[in-house]
Every structure is written in structure tokens, then in C-alpha cells.
A and B are shown apart, each in its own frame.
Chain A
Amino acid sequence: MLRTTEFALRQALANIRRHSLMSFAATSTVALALCIVGAAGLILLNVNLWTRRVVGEAEIYVYADRGLSRADALALQHKINSLPQVAQTDFVPREEAYNQLQASLRRSLRGLPNPLPDAIHVRTRDASQVAQVAAIVRKWPQVERVVHAEQTIKMLLTVRHIVSVGSVVASVLLLLAAMLIVHNTIRLTLIARRREIGIMQLVGATPSFVAAPFLLEGAFHGAVGAVIALLLLAPGYIYAHRVFTRSLSFFPLAPPGVVVDCGALLVLGGLAMSCLATVVSLARFMRRYHPA
């Protein structure tokens, strides 16, 4: 086992040296693809984070009719609460709202009558249900006015959808391109070593013994490409995090530690992708040149 591994390592390194230009092309393509995939993943992660936050904070403000008594207003809250789409409601008495208004205006409104109605802050189970709940509540006679950020939520959800679809499509295309390059590199190595492979098979080398150097070569492209991608991504993300924290604090990014998780995924993904490309290359080569 140890000798097989040693042989495979020696052969893999010799292959990489022999086709250094193709190896460079394969590794850099994998690195570039994984870098873009990683960046897309980080963007998606943060867009999701923002969307969740904004949507999580999205509330419907239901203002009760001014003619309603406190008991009727509380009954209205209870009625809203009983809607299946509603997760939580908070009752804001008109006096409290008046005090909040005074505090926000930083001036006393003493002597002026309180113009505000009792209000109910409503949170739905899902952001997409905000408009639906608002439409239901708006029809009720006890309700004077309904306010919610429907357009903002709609826009955010659309952005999230576009980013998700765009990231997935771009990632798949880039990974396919990287796989194709790795596949081609391994294929060239296989063709260059056709004679050696033929001799190995002729004298009775097992398929795993024959395949091991090529799998290691493929794994090398995947792992090194992933590490390069990570080395490019990590400083970039740390810099972006610093800029956002300093200048765009209302759009906080996920902490830099997320790059470590992302890096682990990149290395695993790079390895899996390269090994898959190598296996396909090997299988096609063996089928064509050594079918029996």
C-alpha cells in the first residue's frame, strides 16, 4: 500500500512536471473558477443575510379607527392574531405612540391634543405574506389605515432571487469549464503515457495501480486551485468587511470567519470536481485504448 502510494506520488509529480504548461493552465482555471464561485457564494450569503434582516424587520402597521374604544382595539389585535399568516402582534396604545412621537421630535407637544390612533404592529410568518395580510386587514371596518413596506420587500426578494439564480448558473458554468480543462489535462497525460500504461496492464498491474497517479494529479489541480482561490478570496473579503463596517454600517457583512467555512467547502469542491473530471477521463481512455 505504502509502495503503491509512493509510486503513484512519484508518477503524478513526474506527470505534472512533464506537462507543466497544461498543469499550470488546469490549476489556474480551477483557481479562477473556484474564486468566482466562492465570491458568488459570499455575495449570496450576505444578500440572504440582508434580506432576512430586512424582511425580519418588516412589519405591518395597522392603525385602529379613532372611534374604537381600547377594548375594541384590543379585540382587533386579537382578531389579527388569529390570522394563520400572522406570527406576532404588538399593541401600541395611542398614549405610548404620542410619547414616542414627542421623543423623536425632541420637543414637547404639551397642550396639543393627541391625534394618534391605537396601533398594532404585525409580523407575518413569512415576508411574502405581508401584502396578503395587509389586504385582508385593510377591508375591516375597525381599521383606519394600514402601512407596510411591500415594495421594498418585493424588490429585496427579487434581488435575492436574481442573485441566487445568477450565482448558481455562473457557478455551474465555471465549474463545468474547470472540469473540462482538468479532464483535458489528464487526457493529454494519459495519451502521453499510453505506452507505459499499456506495459503496466500487460504485466498485470491492477486498474487502481494504473489509475492512482492520475487521480493524484487531478486531486493536485483541485486542491492547489482551491488554495489559490482561498488566498485570493480571504484578503478581498476581509477588506470588504472592513469597508462595509466603517462606511456602510447599515449593511453589515457576515464576519470574516465565514471565509474559513467557505475555504473548506472550496477545497472539498475543488477536489471532488477534479477527481470526477479525472475519473471521466480515465474511464473514456480505458474504454477507447484498453477495452478488454
Chain B
Amino acid sequence: METVPCIPPRAMGARFVIHFEHVSFTYDNDVEALHDVDVRVDKGEFVFLVGPTGEGKSTFLKLIYREVVPTAGRVIVAGTDVGRMPRRRVPHLRRRIGVVFQDFRLLSNKTIAENILFALEAVGVARRDMRRRTYEVLRQVGLAYRMDAFPAELSAGEQQRVSIARAVANYPAILLADEPTGNLDPDTSLEIVMLLRDINIRGTTVIMATHDREVVDSVNKRVICLHYGRIVRDVPRGLYYAAYDQAPGE
């Protein structure tokens, strides 16, 4: 497959890091999702966030793209405290972050090309660039030949590829993936994680929340284990069980 640059020069120059400084987050129903999380992710890293459902993985990601704000501590993204960032600046933050979800979040009434065009139009990409970029990212995920298909006509794995293509279409410096293989069979899951690894190799920082052991073990990257909202292990190049089995109480 022919590759295209994923990050434009403007994002390449900056040392783009994520820094959680003693971050805690409690939902309105008093459920504490994260407790005193202190961690740093450097530019270009590939990080797995592991742990069973309900341990705070999604909240961790939501804090990065300012879907929620910490109840204590600071979340620093590229030198900016996103929790205290004015609301009007949030769209600019999100243009530098791509997000992929387990349920793909594609618009069923639009073709896959239109799904990507819609996202590009929403952030004001010039019209002449929109088609070119759409084609580029679809080629990157191996779906250029299906650009006129509707999501319902694609397999789950292909839909997730489209979702990833949409997430990287705006050349984000960070890609967050929240259980992207949750709905996929093992082989397709491996394909998706390899695609994310390819994107990471081209310079994008990738953080992937998962509880899929095979996926984590397949690429031997940094693994952070969350347990009851706390980081219990942070292994630079590890396997799922190496991080998770040694968690307290397990």
C-alpha cells in the first residue's frame, strides 16, 4: 500500500506531549473515574491504556480532548492546560486530535467519502484540498476503491478503517482510539492495530484504550494499566498481562 504523510509540517515541529498532573475526575453521580493520575506521553509514542471496562480508560481519553474537565489536577496537551482552556479554544484543540470509537460513529446516510468530506468541511478545509485529502486517507486505510459505498455496505472492520481515515484526515498530532477493536474479530482487530501502528510510525502520537490482550501483545508498545481509576503499572514495552496481572488485588 502506498503511504502518504500523515502529519503536516506545522505539527511536526512542535514537541507535542500529554501530561496528566495528579488528575482526578468524579462524575456527577459521585463515581470517581480517575484518582490522582500522574503520567506523561511524549510526541510520537504509541501507548496502550489497558484495564477492564469501567476502570477509567474512556475518561482518560475524554480529558485529553476536553469532553470532560478534571475535578482535580491538570491535563496539559501541547503546553496548554485543557481543563482551564476557554471554551472557544476547544475546537482548535480538537483539530489537532483525532478520535476513534468502538461504534465507529459514521453517518449512515452518507457515503464513506462524504463522511470524511463532512468532517473536513466542518473544520473549514479548503474545497480544493477536501477531495484530495479524502482520497489520500481512504487509500491509506485501503478503502479508496469503496469511497462511494455507504457504511451499511461495509464490514465492521472496514467501517472502523473509515472511522480512522476520518480521524486522521485533518492531520492530527494525536490519535485517540477508544476500544477501536471492541466490535471486531481477532484477525480484523490485528489489522486495525497494525494500521494504527503505521500511523504512529509516521509521527502521530497514538493512545489506544483496550482490554484486548492479543492486540496489546501484538505490537510490544508502552502499556499503562488503570485499576479503579489509578495507574497501577506503566511498562515501556510490555505485554498485556505483564502490566495487568501485577495490579493490586488481581
Interface on A for B, CB 8 Å cutoff? 3-4, 7, 195-196, 198-207, 209, 292
Q: How far is the CB of B133 from chain A (nearest CB, A)?
A: 13
Q: Does B68 contact A (CB under 8 A)?
A: yes
Could you say which of B67, B92, B166 contacts A292, with CB atoms under 8 Å apart?
Answer: B67
Q: A4 touching B69 by the CB < 8 A rule?
A: no
Q: A204 touching B95 by the CB < 8 A rule?
A: yes
Q: A206 touching B127 by the CB < 8 A rule?
A: no
Q: How far is the CB of A290 from chain B (nearest CB, A)?
A: 8
Q: A199 touching B91 by the CB < 8 A rule?
A: no
Q: A203 touching B124 by the CB < 8 A rule?
A: no
Question: What separation, in Å, do the CA atoms of A33 and B88 have in the docked complex?
Answer: 37
Chain A residues within an 8 Å CB radius of B124: 3-4, 209
Chain A residues within an 8 Å CB radius of B66: 292
List CB contacts (< 8 Å) of B90-129 with chain A.
Answer: 90-96, 99, 105, 107, 118-119, 121-124, 127
Known: A7-B121, A195-B105, A292-B66. A204 touches B99 (CB 8 A): no
Question: What separation, in Å, do the CA atoms of A203 and B127 have in the docked complex?
Answer: 17
Q: Does B48 contact A (CB under 8 A)?
A: no
Chain B residues within an 8 Å CB radius of A3: 121, 124, 127
- The residue on A at minimum CB distance from B87 is A207
Known: A4-B124, A195-B105. A202 touches B68 (CB 8 A): no
Question: What separation, in Å, do the CA atoms of A201 and B119 have in the docked complex?
Answer: 9
- The residue on A at minimum CB distance from B94 is A204
Q: How far is the CB of B237 from chain A (nearest CB, A)?
A: 31
Q: How far is the CB of B230 from chain A (nearest CB, A)?
A: 23
Question: What separation, in Å, do the CA atoms of A198 and B118 have in the docked complex?
Answer: 12
Could you say which of A195, A204, A292 contacts B122, with CB atoms under 8 Å apart?
Answer: A204
Chain B residues within an 8 Å CB radius of A196: 107, 118
Chain A residues within an 8 Å CB radius of B24: none
Question: What separation, in Å, do the CA atoms of A206 and B95 have in the docked complex?
Answer: 10
Q: B170 touching A203 by the CB < 8 A rule?
A: yes
Q: B93 touching A204 by the CB < 8 A rule?
A: yes
Q: A204 touching B123 by the CB < 8 A rule?
A: yes
Known: A7-B121, A200-B122. A206 touches B105 (CB 8 A): no
Instruction: Give me 11 A-to-B residue pairs in the complex whose CB atoms sit less than 8 angstroms apart, sorted by A's number.
Output: A199-B107, A199-B118, A201-B94, A202-B94, A203-B122, A204-B91, A204-B94, A204-B95, A206-B88, A209-B124, A292-B66
Chain A residues within an 8 Å CB radius of B118: 196, 199
Q: A206 touching B69 by the CB < 8 A rule?
A: no
Q: A203 touching B94 by the CB < 8 A rule?
A: yes
- The residue on A at minimum CB distance from B68 is A292
Chain A residues within an 8 Å CB radius of B244: none
Question: What separation, in Å, do the CA atoms of A4 and B127 have in the docked complex?
Answer: 12
Question: What separation, in Å, do the CA atoms of A209 and B93 have in the docked complex?
Answer: 16
Q: A203 touching B107 by the CB < 8 A rule?
A: no
Chain A residues within an 8 Å CB radius of B107: 195-196, 199
Interface string of B169-208 (1 = CB under 8 A from A): 0100000000000000000000000000000000000000
Q: B105 touching A204 by the CB < 8 A rule?
A: no
Q: Does B20 contact A (CB under 8 A)?
A: no
Chain B residues within an 8 Å CB radius of A195: 105, 107
Could you say which of A4, A198, A207 contacts B91, with CB atoms under 8 Å apart?
Answer: A207
Q: Does B60 contact A (CB under 8 A)?
A: no
Q: How far is the CB of A149 from chain B (nearest CB, A)?
A: 65
Q: How far is the CB of A282 from chain B (nearest CB, A)?
A: 14
Q: Does B46 contact A (CB under 8 A)?
A: no
Q: Does B240 contact A (CB under 8 A)?
A: no
Q: How far is the CB of B172 from chain A (nearest CB, A)?
A: 9
Known: A3-B127, A195-B107, A196-B107. A205 touches B122 (CB 8 A): yes
Q: How far is the CB of A210 from chain B (nearest CB, A)?
A: 8
Q: A204 touching B67 by the CB < 8 A rule?
A: no
Beyond contacts A200-B119, A204-B96, A204-B122: 4 other A-B pairs, Cβ-Cβ < 8 A, are: A198-B105, A201-B91, A203-B122, A292-B90
Q: B68 touching A199 by the CB < 8 A rule?
A: no
- The residue on B at minimum CB distance from A206 is B91
Question: What separation, in Å, do the CA atoms of A206 and B90 have in the docked complex?
Answer: 8
Question: What separation, in Å, do the CA atoms of A6 and B208 have in the docked complex?
Answer: 37
Question: What separation, in Å, do the CA atoms of A7 and B93 have in the docked complex?
Answer: 22
Q: How far is the CB of A200 from chain B (nearest CB, A)?
A: 4
Question: What separation, in Å, do the CA atoms of A205 and B118 have in the docked complex?
Answer: 11
- The residue on A at minimum CB distance from B127 is A3
